[in-house]
Amino acid sequence: MRTRRSARWLRRLAIAMIVLVEVAFLFAAALVAGGGAAGGAISTDTAHLPPWAGAACLLIFGLLVGVALAHLVRMLGKIEQGALFATARELRGFALWLFVAVLFSILAPPLFQLADGALGGTGAHRATLTADSDDALMLLIIGLLALIARLLEAAQEVADDAAQIV
């Protein structure tokens, strides 16, 4: 019962986070696209990309994080309904989309820098690939989530086998 109640609260929190994250990324993309992100009370880190590329990166990253959180909401909904071990698919989806979002955040800025240079943009015509310890930690946590999803699948198989015996 406590698990279901906790899952309900976490699901509601995750839904609120989806709304908050998506609004924040839309707002940030609008700021960057309008050139209003530099020097104001609000700042965004768009890896020195031109406004169109910075806004595109923010929108795509926000979309990827939103999709990952939607998988988390579905997983928490299953837990709330009492299907504790039947959550592996949603957990794997959450981990996959989170992985894609982190990979995008690492690879997209240099790709957009190269595209801007190829299109004759105002950029420095070079690409800078950066990955920091936060990215490495996120990738490690994502790998752990994928492992937990596999363990849940194995637990579901054991539960299904036990149900057939009775």
Does some domain include residue 122? no
pLDDT digit string, tens, across residues 88-115? 999 999 999 999 999 999 988 888 888 7
CA 107 vs CA 102, 135, 157: distances in Å: 9, 12, 37
Does some domain include residue 77? yes
Rounded average pLDDT over 13-21:
95
pLDDT digit string, tens, across residues 51-85? 888 888 999 999 999 999 999 999 999 999 988 77
Does some domain include residue 33? yes
Sign of CA dihedral 77, 79, 83, 88: positive
Does some domain include residue 28? yes
Does some domain include residue 123? no
Does some domain include residue 124? no
Tally the domains of the chain: 1
Does some domain include residue 89? yes
Does some domain include residue 42? no
CA 126 to chain centre: 27
Q: For residue 24, what are the domain limits?
A: 2-37+47-117+130-165
